[in-house]
């Protein structure tokens, strides 16, 4: 059985606050092909971002799990010693232990426990950061970045999330569904419209310099997920959206 297949259920959601419940199988593309497709789409966006902004002296990755940033750093011959990889779940962060041996720093940390860094970061990455896409994230982002630093954020697209969740999650639009051992498990997933996302970021003192969408047609490995191939999901509909920018200059907001 494909655990990623859409499931319609009248039972109430079972929310969990971190990914420990699903960590063991999260990166299995046969069980969770939507995660694999979203990861492929995020990689496309990350390559574009790094071509513009890397290398920089200090980088931070939030909610990393199996660090996509580290993989791209290696592909671009960027030093892992400049990268700090974090995740709130120790089970998820364990996927990145290989990068510690190659120079990266690893830490189990939430947005709150990271606090204010004594040394700000030049680049901050939040790949598929919708589980913690709250004002607190963006207020912290402003504090973490150097004056000329840049953030990179991706999320399942608003168009895809609203269509899928309306039809297959009984309207639970702030939760993402996983089927684990036959049980529907839900984690937070905050996916506002691009306009609302821009307003959130700008309202916290940051710029939005780029908003870039990836459609399923652009996926290098094709579409593996039934959730991305439903009749209501057109082939040219964005499935992942990327936002990047930096700190607002004094007297500006965009």
Question: In the structure, what pLDDT confidence band is assigned to residue 2 with cuts at 50, 70 and 90?
Answer: very low
- Reported as a single tens digit per residue, the pLDDT across 99-119 is 999 999 999 999 999 877 668
* Percentage, residues of the chain above pLDDT 90: 72
pLDDT digits (tens, 9 = 90+) for 68-107: 999 999 999 999 999 999 999 999 999 999 999 999 999 9
φ, ψ dihedrals at 228, nearest 5°: -100, 0
Inter-residue long-range contacts of 8-13, CB under 8 Å, 24+ positions, other chains counted: 8/168, 8/170, 9/170, 9/184, 10/170, 11/184, 13/169, 13/172, 13/175, 13/177, 13/184, 13/186
Q: How confident is the model at residue 250 (pLDDT cuts 50, 70, 90)?
A: confident
Q: How many CB atoms lie within 10 A of CB 117?
A: 15
Inform me whether the pLDDT recorded for 23 exceeds 80. Answer: yes
Low-confidence winner among 12-26, 65-79, 158-172, 222-236 (lowest mean pLDDT): 12-26
Lookup: tokens for 164? 């899928």
> Cβ–Cβ contacts within 10 Å for residue 106, how many?
21
- Cα separation of 219 and 1, whole Å? 24
Q: What is the mean pLDDT of residues 125-133?
A: 97
pLDDT, tens digit (0-9, with 9 covering 90-100), for 162-198: 998 887 766 678 889 888 888 888 899 999 999 999 9
Domains of the chain: 34-159+193-225+235-246 (3.40.50.150)
Query: CA 17 → CA 90, 125, 126, 132, 149, distances in Å?
Result: 13, 21, 18, 10, 30
pTM: 0.91
pLDDT, greater one: 223 or 15: 223
Taking the C-alpha atoms of residue 21 and residue 124, their distance in angstroms, rounded to an integer, is 26
What pLDDT score does 119 carry? Answer: 85
């Amino acid at each position: 059985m494909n655990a990623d297949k859409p499931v319609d259920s009248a039972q109430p959601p079972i929310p969990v606050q971190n990914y420990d419940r699903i960590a063991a199988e999260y990166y299995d593309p046969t069980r969770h092909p939507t995660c694999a497709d979203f990861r492929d789409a995020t990689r496309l966006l990350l390559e574009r971002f790094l071509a513009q902004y890397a290398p920089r002296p200090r980088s931070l990755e939030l909610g990393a799990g199996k660090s996509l940033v580290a993989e791209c750093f290696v592909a671009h011959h960027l030093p892992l010693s400049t990268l700090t990889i974090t995740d709130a779940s120790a089970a998820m962060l364990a996927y990145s232990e290989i990068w510690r041996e190659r120079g990266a720093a690893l830490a189990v940390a939430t947005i709150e426990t990271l606090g204010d860094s004594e040394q700000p970061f030049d680049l901050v990455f939040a790949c598929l950061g919708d589980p913690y896409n709250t004002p607190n994230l963006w207020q912290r982002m402003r504090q973490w970045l150097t004056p000329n630093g840049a953030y990179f954020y991706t999320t399942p697209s608003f168009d895809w999330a609203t269509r899928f969740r309306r039809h297959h999650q009984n309207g639970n639009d702030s939760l993402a569904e996983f089927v684990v051992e036959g049980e529907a498990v839900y984690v937070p997933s905050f996916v506002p419209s691009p306009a609302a996302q821009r307003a959130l970021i700008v309202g916290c003192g940051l710029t939005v310099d780029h908003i870039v969408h990836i459609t399923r047609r652009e996926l290098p490995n094709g579409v593996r997920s039934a959730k991305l191939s439903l009749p209501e999901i057109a082939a040219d509909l964005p499935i992942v959206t990327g936002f990047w920018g930096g700190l607002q200059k004094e007297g500006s907001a965009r």
